[in-house]
Structure 1
Amino acid sequence: MSLQASFSLRGRNPDVLTCIANLSNDEVFTPPEFANRMLDTLAEAWAADHNGANLWADKSVKFLDPCTKSGVFLREITNRLTQGLATEISDLQERVDHILTKQVFGIGITHLTSLLARRSLYCSKHANGEHSVAKSFDTHAGNIWFERTNHDWFNGRCVFCKASQSSYDREDGMETHAYAFIHTTDIEARVVELFGDKMQFDVIIGNPPYQLGSDGGTRDVPIYQRFVEQAKALQPRYLTMVIPSRWMASGLGLTEFRQAMLKDRSIRELIDFPAANDVFPGVEVKAGVCYFLWDASHDGDCKVTTMRGGEAIGPVLRNLGEYDIFVRDARAVSILHKVRAMSEPSINNILARDKEFGWTSNFDGFHKTKRPGDVPLYFIRKMKRGIGYIDRGDVTKSKHLTDYWKVLVPQAFNGGDAIPHQILGKPLIAPSPSVCTQSFLFFYVESLEAAKSIQSYYTTRFFRFLVSVRKITQHATHGTYTWVPMQTWDRNWTDEELYQKYDINEEEQAYIESQVRVMNIDDSENE
Structure 2
Amino acid sequence: MIETNYNPDVLTCLANLSNDEVFTPPTLANQILDTLPPALFSNSKTTFLDPVSKSGVFLREIAKRLMIGLETEIPNQQERLNHIFSKQLFGIAITELTSLLSRRSVYCSKIANGKYSICENFTNEQGNIIFDKTEHTWSNGKCTFCNASQEVYEREEALETYAYQFIHTNNPEKIFKNMKFDVIIGNPPYQLSDGGNGKSAKPIYHKFIQQAKKLNPRFLSMIIPARWYAGGKGLDEFREEMLTDNRIRKIVDFENSNEVFPGVDVAGGICYFLWEKDNQGLCEVINYSDGSKVNSERALNEFPILIRQSQAIPIIRKVTANNKQALNVRVSSRKPFGLPTNYAPKKKGIPCWFTQKIGKQFANPEDVSDPFKILDKWKFLVPPAPIAGQTDFSKPVGFYYEGNTIIAKPGECCTESFIVLGAFKTENEVLAYKSYIFTKTVRFLLLQTVVSQHVTKGNFQFIPDLIKYEGIYTDEMLRKKWDINEEEWQYINSKIKATELMGNRKNEDNV
Moved over 4 A (4+): 21-24
Q: Which residue of structure 2 lines up, in the alignment, with residue 20 of structure 1?
A: 14
Q: For 2:262 and 2:351, locate their aligned partners in 1 and report how far apart those are by CA, in whole Å.
A: 45
Q: For 1:526 and 1:86, locate their aligned partners in 2 and report how far apart those are by CA, in whole Å.
A: 77
Q: Which residue of structure 1 lines up, in the alignment, with residue 165 of structure 2?
A: 180
Q: Does 1:440 align with 2:418?
A: yes
Q: Does 1:221 align with 2:206?
A: no
- 1:172–1:455: structure 2 CA closer, same or farther, 3 Å change rule? same
Q: Which residue of structure 2 lines up, in the alignment, with residue 377 of structure 1?
A: 352
Q: For 1:516 and 1:22, locate their aligned partners in 2 and report how far apart those are by CA, in whole Å.
A: 31
Cα offset, 1:84, TM superposition: 1.3
Pick aligned residue for 1:333 from 296, 309, 313: 313
Q: Does 1:507 align with 2:480?
A: no
**Would you say the 8 A contact 1:427–1:455 is kept in 2?**
no
**Would you say the 8 A contact 2:239–2:305 is kept in 1?**
yes
- 1:385–1:348: structure 2 CA closer, same or farther, 3 Å change rule? farther
The code of the aligned residue for 1:210 comes to: Y
User: Can you list the C-alpha shifts for 1:266-288, whole angstroms capped at 9, x where unaligned?
Assistant: 00100011111111111111111
Cα offset, 1:438, TM superposition: 1.3
Pick aligned residue for 2:441 from 448, 451, 462: 462
Q: Secondary structure of the equivalent of 1:358?
A: coil
Q: Which residue of structure 1 lines up, in the alignment, with residue 110 of structure 2?
A: 125
- 1:156–1:131: structure 2 CA closer, same or farther, 3 Å change rule? same
TM-score by length of 1: 0.91
Q: For 1:22 and 1:362, locate their aligned partners in 2 and report how far apart those are by CA, in whole Å.
A: 37
**Would you say the 8 A contact 1:429–1:526 is kept in 2?**
no
The code of the aligned residue for 2:307 comes to: V
Q: Does 1:423 align with 2:399?
A: yes
TM-score by length of 2: 0.94
Q: Does 1:99 align with 2:99?
A: no
- 1:73–1:505: structure 2 CA closer, same or farther, 3 Å change rule? same
- 1:24–1:413: structure 2 CA closer, same or farther, 3 Å change rule? farther
Larger RCO (CA within 8 A; separation ≥ 6): 2
Q: Does 1:135 align with 2:120?
A: yes
Q: Does 1:263 align with 2:244?
A: yes
1:243-322 pair list within 5 angstroms? 243-314=224-295, 316-322=296-302
The code of the aligned residue for 1:388 comes to: Q
**Would you say the 8 A contact 1:184–1:190 is kept in 2?**
no
Q: For 1:12 and 1:128, locate their aligned partners in 2 and report how far apart those are by CA, in whole Å.
A: 31
Pick aligned residue for 1:524 from 491, 494, 506: 506
The code of the aligned residue for 1:524 comes to: K
Cα offset, 1:23, TM superposition: 6.1
- 1:217–1:205: structure 2 CA closer, same or farther, 3 Å change rule? farther
Q: Pick which of 341-350 and 324-333 moved more.
A: 341-350
Q: For 2:135 and 2:505, locate their aligned partners in 1 and report how far apart those are by CA, in whole Å.
A: 58
**Would you say the 8 A contact 1:377–1:387 is kept in 2?**
yes
The code of the aligned residue for 2:266 comes to: V
Q: For 2:44 and 2:134, locate their aligned partners in 1 and report how far apart those are by CA, in whole Å.
A: 32
Q: Which residue of structure 2 lines up, in the alignment, with residue 71 of structure 1?
A: 56
Q: Pick which of 291-300 and 339-348 moved more.
A: 339-348
**Would you say the 8 A contact 2:15–2:261 is kept in 1?**
no
Cα offset, 1:514, TM superposition: 0.7
Pick aligned residue for 1:342 from 322, 328, 345: 322
Q: For 1:22 and 1:163, locate their aligned partners in 2 and report how far apart those are by CA, in whole Å.
A: 26
Q: For 1:81 and 1:390, locate their aligned partners in 2 and report how far apart those are by CA, in whole Å.
A: 69
Cα offset, 1:526, TM superposition: 5.0
Over the aligned positions, Cα root-mean-square deviation in angstroms equals 1.7
Cα offset, 1:375, TM superposition: 2.2
Q: For 1:161 and 1:61, locate their aligned partners in 2 and report how far apart those are by CA, in whole Å.
A: 30
Q: For 1:330 and 1:408, locate their aligned partners in 2 and report how far apart those are by CA, in whole Å.
A: 31
Q: For 2:86 and 2:132, locate their aligned partners in 1 and report how far apart those are by CA, in whole Å.
A: 19
Q: Which residue of structure 1 lines up, in the alignment, with residue 154 of structure 2?
A: 169
The code of the aligned residue for 2:134 comes to: T
Q: Does 1:191 align with 2:176?
A: yes
- 1:385–1:86: structure 2 CA closer, same or farther, 3 Å change rule? farther
User: Can you list the C-alpha shifts for 1:111-148, whole angstroms capped at 9, x where unaligned?
Assistant: 00000000000001001111111111101101000011
**Would you say the 8 A contact 2:109–2:116 is kept in 1?**
yes
1:394-433 pair list within 5 angstroms? 394-398=367-371, 400-414=373-387, 415-416=389-390, 417=392, 418-424=394-400, 426-433=404-411
Matched residues, percent identical? 45
**Would you say the 8 A contact 1:278–1:309 is kept in 2?**
no
Ranges in structure 1 where 5+ consecutive residues have no aligned partner: 1-10, 48-53, 193-197
User: Can you list the C-alpha shifts for 1:224-263, whole angstroms capped at 9, x where unaligned?
Assistant: 0000001011000000000011111010000100000000
The code of the aligned residue for 1:132 comes to: S
Q: For 2:64 and 2:329, locate their aligned partners in 1 and report how far apart those are by CA, in whole Å.
A: 57
Cα offset, 1:12, TM superposition: 6.4
Q: For 2:13 and 2:364, locate their aligned partners in 1 and report how far apart those are by CA, in whole Å.
A: 59
